[in-house]
Structure formats: C-alpha cells, structure tokens
Amino acid sequence: MHHSQEFSSSSMRSVAPWLDGDANDRLSLGTTVSCIVERELDVHEHLFLEGERQTHVYLVLSGLIGIYKLLADGRRQISTFAYPGDMIGLDCTDTHVDSGEALSGSRVRCIPVNAIEKLIMNEPGFGQTLLRIAANELADTRERMLSLGRQSATEKLATFLVKVARRNAGIGLDRDTVHIPMKRCEIADFLGLTIETVSRNFTRLKLAGVIRLKSNSQVELVDFERLEAIAKGDMPAHLN
C-alpha cells in the first residue's frame, strides 16, 4: 500500500496558494455559477489532448498527471509531472499545446477558464499570482532544457532524483526516502532517454552506493551530497 499523497488545503506546499482553504468560495465569488466539478481519472485516461480547445484549468487533488508532447512517429517528451497541489493549464492559450494523461488513478478539480478570467478581472493581485506561477514554471522549464540538452544519462537521473527529494523536503516528508510514482518508461520520456538506459543508470547509482532500491518505486538516497554533485556535473562520469 503506497503513501497516497492526497492534496489537502492545509498542505505546507502549494503551487496555488490562492486556492487554499476556501477555493470554492473565492471562485464562486468571481462567478455566480459555481460550475466547479471534480473528476476521477483511471490510469492512462486523458485529461485533455493536444489541439483540443482548452475549457478548464485543473487542480490535481490526488494521483499523478503527465503533461507531454508527441512527435508524428510516437516519440514522446514528458514536459512535466503534475503532483497533487499542482495546477495544470494556467498558461491559458485557447487550444492545448500538449496532452495530459493520468499516470495513476487520479482526481482533479476542474475550473472553467472563464472563471479564471473573471477572477483576473475582479480579484486584485490574482493576475500577478498567475504571473508569478508562470514565471516559476518557465524557470523550471529552462532548467529542464539544460538537463535535456547537455547532461549525460547519469546526470539526468541524478538531477531527477534530487528534484523529487527536494519536493519531498518541501512538503515535510523525509528528503532521503523518495517514492517514485511513475514507471521507468515515464521517467525515460521525461529525461529524453530509453527505459533501458534509465534502468542501467539506476543500477549504476546503486552500485556506486549513492542510492538503494527498496522496491521499483521506493528509493533511498544513501548519499545525497554525492547525488547532488553528480547532478551538477561536478563528478567525472567514470567515478560514478
């Protein structure tokens, strides 16, 4: 039985602080209709597809959503994983530029885009909050580009693990005991690698004594400092 990570308003971390606590109230404050529904998603069920008109913004309540783009022949790049507490689609363009798929059973709250638009109009400071979120997302994305374009497989994986660990620490969990809710295949599509390379580098880090694999989805960071060093590229490849 795994730690379910249900999103709650009292969560220490929140990408969407302005939705904390009284989310429904504040949204119905902006719109007379309170057409905010929750939606349950099975594994591999899609929340939206690239090219579809964007009708909603989503708040992940539980589970994990993968945001990705495809090449014509099926090659996939996952741009981000949306965890409970994360918002999806705040960068409102009218059509979706990528697809969103549940990577495990998930629950999301669906907020119509016009509700967001009204909030921007009526709630002072709301627009700026959105801007700040977008800015953070952009900063994050650029770090990902550096990783995708310039890091080795081992460095990419180390970077990924460090990021998950930091997220853990941020929400009050143990930094060094990380639960990986996604499959190897999804990690591969996130890092721009193949599943085999991901797997090989897990064992590589394991043999180097940097991590320990309790199970496929449960990783213990034995030497966080060294993992960070590898992620930063400070560590020559052959010493890993």
Partner DNA sequence: CGTTCTCTTGAGATCCCTCAACACCTGTGG
Partner DNA sequence: CCACAGGTGTTGAGGGATCTCAAGAGAACG
Residues binding DNA (CB under 7 A): 152-154, 183-185, 192-200, 202-203, 213, 215-217, 237-238
- What's the min distance (Å) between Cβ of 46 and DNA? 16
The 139-178 contact track toward a copy of itself, x by CB under 8 A, reads x-xxxxxx-xxxx---------------------------
**Cβ atoms within 10 Å, residue 216:** 11
Whichever of 68 and 202 has its CB closer to a copy of itself, that residue is 68
- What's the min distance (Å) between Cβ of 148 and a copy of itself? 4
Q: Does 135 bind a copy of itself (CB under 8 A)?
A: yes
Size of the site for a copy of itself (CB under 8 A): 39
Among DNA, a copy of itself, none, residue 185 binds (CB under 5-8 Å by kind): DNA
* Cα separation, 9 vs 17, whole angstroms: 9
Q: Partners of 39 in the beta sheet?
A: 108
Among 4, 122, 232, 237, binds a copy of itself (CB under 8 A): 232
- What's the min distance (Å) between Cβ of 106 and a copy of itself? 21
Taking each helix axis from N to C end, the angle separating 126-150 and 153-170, rounded to the nearest 10 degrees, works out to 150
Whichever of 69 and 214 has its CB closer to a copy of itself, that residue is 69
Residue numbers 60-89 binding a copy of itself by CB under 8 A: 69, 71-73, 75-77, 79
Among DNA, a copy of itself, none, residue 114 binds (CB under 5-8 Å by kind): none
Among a copy of itself, DNA, none, residue 130 binds (CB under 5-8 Å by kind): a copy of itself
Binding site for a copy of itself (CB under 8 A): 69, 71-73, 75-77, 79, 91-93, 97-98, 120, 127-128, 130-131, 134-139, 141-146, 148-151, 191-192, 232-234
